[in-house]
Amino acid sequence: MNSRTTEILVGFFMLIFFAAMLFLAMRVSNLTSLGSSTGYALVAHFDNVGGLKSGAPVSASGVRVGQVESIVYDPDQFSAEVMMSVGEDFVGAFPEDTTASIYTAGLLGEQYIGLEAGAEDIMLGDGDEVTLTQSALVLERLIGQVLFSRSGAE
Amino acid sequence: MIDRVARFGRFWLDALERFGRAQLFLARSLGAMPSLIPRFPLLIQQLYASGVMTLSIILVSGLFVGMVLALQGYNLLQGFGAEAALGQAVALTLVRELGPVVTGLLFAGRAGSAMTAEIGLMKATEQLSGLEMMAVDPFKRVYAPRLFAGFLALPMLAAMFSAVGVLGGYLVGVEVLGVDAGAYWSNMQSSVAFVEDVCQGLIKALVFGLVVSWIAIFEGADCIPTSEGVSAATTRTVVYSSLSVLGLDFVLTAIMF
Amino acid sequence: MSTAQANGVPDATSVRPEGDEALVRVRDLHFARGRKKIFQGMTFEVPRGKITTIIGPSGTGKTTLLKMIGGQLKPSQGSIEFDGQNVAKLNRKALYALRKRMGMLFQSGALLTDLSVFENIAFPLREHTDLPDSLISHLVLMRLHAVGLRGARDLYPAELSGGMARRAALARALVFDPMMIMYDEPFTGQDPISMGVLLELIHTVNHALGLTSLMVSHDLAEALSISDHVVIISEGVVVEAGSPEQLRASPSEWTQQFLNGSPDGPVPFQLPAPDYAFELLGTSTATGSDR
């Protein structure tokens, strides 16, 4: 085994490593979408974000249009402030009375934000807030409601 | 009775002495690292020996582990109706845990034992003595290149393991078991964070790389220079490395996740 | 125990103007490995420009002695001086500088197995100098020619016979024109032709290059045939030292047994053991009753 063959094989090894890293970064994790910040930002406040995570999809009519960038607690409004980034293809696509709701994909799947367009003429711009929001369904509340309604019915 | 206590005490004192020697060995090897820069071909040679030679076993194992994860994962998730989460289950398990750990164990068995045997043989055939008498520091020429090569190679192999595993999971999950391809990838992408999951998994692998190489080289350099001594050292390398990988995995996971 | 100086012939190749005739001085050397005492007060000298052999029974720590002269091991007591410098007291840098002035030939050659013969001999040059490849090539070929192995330059150590490996190792030890070459058991296990080659080489190398040679061996006949000075060690001390003729005429019974290879003498044939008759018959020979 001469050193030239060794060097070629080590180079090949490094190549496979870079391919693997690229694959892991692009296809396995959310690096791609994190990179594309060429869209515009929207803000929404929720009473309860449930299991929503940053990086979760933002969809309209079931089609992914952006993602959740960050979720922080807003002490001024006593609610969760969610920053979303929406792709630049959809600039000005959402009217002011758009509703942002937190849905669950499937029964136990991950949570995402669904945007339902309203009927206003003025469109949301970069950094605007979606004022109409619907929080995530919290299981305990649901059960509590069921129990309450049942006990109320008796 | 007293004799037993004395022997027990001596055993632990010897172990402590050995551990201390190993620390000094590591310190001296790390100190010899800067001298690697002019000796780049040595590093390439060792990357070949540790990395390239372990590549095939890593790729094959990664594929199988990924496939098994998909099989088992599907079975489990089916009970919750959550088959769509298969992608993220496979990916997270691989990237956070199995990638670094299984690669660490395989590396210890393949490359680690080879390093120990090679160095032990060099000691037994007086090549190390010969180097010393030629005024060549074996730390610079023999130990540091191997330490650094192992340190680099393990994380690289772990990344490849995880990547191949995810593909293997795709093969079984989507092609065979019928999980929706879109769901496989998109759920995965939204759950696997590059920095928190992939990078921290690689950090684990870096630590494993250092520890496994250190153990392998030290056992070789410290062995009794006979054929029994070398084979005993090789066995010790595999055992101690494997235990260290598993133990450190726990500690690192607790710290990082 | 006696120490012998060189035989009074001034050494023409000596560099030191004071006429210091000993290159290596070992004084009152003590060394133990674990509980086993290996050296218990060794004192001897290695004269410049001559071939000195250290002889002794196997296991007396002869290889250890060479390692101590080379600074790989430190004595627990006593001193070793090489060319006036106390080897054990040198820091790492000075020690490495010193080692460049010594060459060592290990029992198995200790060639690096992943390099060819040529590369093995070029190795010290590449490591310690910035000489261009053409010059290195010349130097290596000169040494290879001196030991007769130019034709083996591209072989690997695994392909060499034992004798060839030692010759290659000798070429490597010579590459920096050292002041002294140490040979660790050079004659062990050699066939007559290889033996002849080695003897010739050691002799030529020593006298043509004006080196000092220090051999360690238990092959008596060969060692005595080319040595100028012999040091006999046993039980960790120097038993006797002198030229081969002086030793052959020695009055010491031990030396005579050793030199002649007699099976019985001061070193007895029967190891200490209980009375034989007692062990066989269960009694001493006097009574004769059985169990």
DSSP letter for each residue of B8-45: HHHHHHHHHHHHHHHHHHHHHHHHTGGGGSTTHHHHHH
Residue B85: pLDDT band (50, 70, 90) is confident
CB C136 within 8 A of CB C122: yes
pLDDT for B109 equals: 95
Closest by alpha carbon to C78, among C12, C119, C28?
C28
Contacts 24+ apart (CB under 8 A), A68-72: A68/A113, A69/A41
Bigger pLDDT: A110 or C27?
Answer: C27
pLDDT confidence of residue A130:
81
> What is the rounded CA–CA span in Å between residue A29 and residue B159?
13
Please list the helix, strand and coil fractions of chain C in percent, rounded to the nearest 5, in that order: 35, 20, 40
Confidence (pLDDT) at A62: 78
d(CA A37, CA B119): 52
Do the Cβ atoms of A56 and B85 come within 8 Å? no
Mean pLDDT score of chain B: 91
Amino acid C285: pLDDT: 53
Closest CA to B188 of B104, B69, B80: B69
All partners of chain C with 3 or more CB pairs under 8 angstroms: B
pLDDT category of residue A138 using cuts at 50, 70 and 90: confident
Lowest mean pLDDT among A13-17, A120-124, B55-59, C213-217: A120-124
- C111 — contact with chain B (CB < 8 Å)? yes
Residues of A in contact with B191 (CB under 8 A): 53, 55, 110
- pTM greater than 0.95 (yes/no): no
C165 φ, ψ to 5°?
-60, -40
3-state secondary structure A52-78: CCCCCEEEECCEEEEEEEEEEEECCCC
CB contact under 8 A, A107 and B185: no
Among A18, A28, A68, most B C-beta atoms within 10 A, so best to mutate, is: A28
Decide if B135 and C100 are in contact by the 8 Å CB cutoff: yes
Which tens digits make up the pLDDT trace of B99-123?
999 999 999 999 999 999 999 999 9
Chains with 3 or more CB pairs closer than 8 angstroms to B? A, C
Q: Does A92 or C86 have the greater pLDDT score?
A: C86
Instruction: Out of B55, B80, B194, name the one closest to residue A29 (CB).
Output: B194
Please choose, from the candidates A140, B54, A82, B125, the residue with its C-alpha nearest in 3D space to the C-alpha of residue C158: B125
Say if residues A49 and A80 touch (Cβ distance below 8 Å): yes
What residues of chain C score a pLDDT lower than 50? 1-19, 287-291
Quote the pLDDT of residue C6. Answer: 37
Q: Which segment of B148-152, B197-201, C11-15, C239-243 scores lowest on mean pLDDT? A: C11-15
Q: What's residue C15's pLDDT? A: 39
| Pairwise CA distance, residues B117 & B105, whole Å | 17
**What is the structure's pLDDT at C291?**
42
How far apart CA B169 and CA B164 sit, in angstroms, is: 9
